[in-house]
Amino acid sequence: EAGVTQFPSHSVIEKGQTVTLRCDPISGHDNLYWYRRVMGKEIKFLLHFVKESKQDESGMPNNRFLAERTGGTYSTLKVQPAELEDSGVYFCASSQRQGSTNEKLFFGSGTQLSVL
């Protein structure tokens, strides 16, 4: 079974440019999460999809970030325009639609974003 796949693994862009990160969850997983880790600090929650709906987007830092999950399959996270402080590792995770006590998250290996 394929795990959670993220693309690209690394991205280097200049300040002001646009970058789109992609996450392919495990097939059949309704829940999809985005997290990011900035400068070796804690991993912070960005948002949570259930199928194609945004269940919780309280962690999105500002309106330069746009996440979509059309059709409830893969998700994209666009940063436009990118700023220096957006550099970090962006993780995606998915889980099946279960109660919170049984939910098991599967994480992708992350996208390392560097904004110069």
Q: Which residues bind another protein (CB under 8 A)?
A: 3-4, 31, 33, 35, 40-45, 48, 55-56, 58-59, 91, 93, 100-101, 103-110
Closest to another protein by CB, 83 vs 103, is: 103
Least distance CB 14 / another protein (angstroms):
26
Closest to another protein by CB, 27 vs 101, is: 101
Three-state SS string over 5-34 comes to EEECCEEEECCCCCEEEEEECCCCCCEEEE
Least distance CB 9 / another protein (angstroms):
9
Q: Are 97 and 50 in contact (CB under 8 A)?
A: yes
103 residue type, one letter: E
Six-digit token string for 76: 């994209």
Least distance CB 45 / another protein (angstroms):
4
Closest to another protein by CB, 48 vs 82, is: 48
Helix (H) or strand (E) holding 87: none
Closest by alpha carbon to 92, among 18, 13, 9, 33? 33
Least distance CB 61 / another protein (angstroms):
14
- Using the structure block, give the residue that is written with the tokens 């993220």: 6
